[in-house]
Amino acid sequence: IEAMIGQRGGRILESCQLFDIYEGEQIGEGFKSMAYSITFRAKDRTLEESDVAAAMKKILNGLESLGIELRK
């Protein structure tokens, strides 16, 4: 997961850190919920929402290709 985030996050990805793993009644058997903190930053400019949205879309598409679902 972290490799995919790093690969798809592009130059504006500053860091990615796993901060929670949950396995319990609210999550289906054989599954776990993982939460990541992702930080984006550009050294030469202020990022726009569209910059971050595009990077997140690439990350989420990559994770979906691995069979990972975004929990809503």
Per-residue model confidence as pLDDT tens digits over 14-66 = 999 999 999 988 888 888 999 999 999 999 999 999 999 999 999 999 999 99
Give the total residue count for the chain.
72
What is the structure's pLDDT at 40?
98
What is the structure's pLDDT at 28?
82
Q: How far apart are CA 56 and CA 3, in angstroms?
A: 14
What is the structure's pLDDT at 46?
97
Instruction: Compute φ and ψ for 9, nearest 5 degrees.
Output: -70, -20
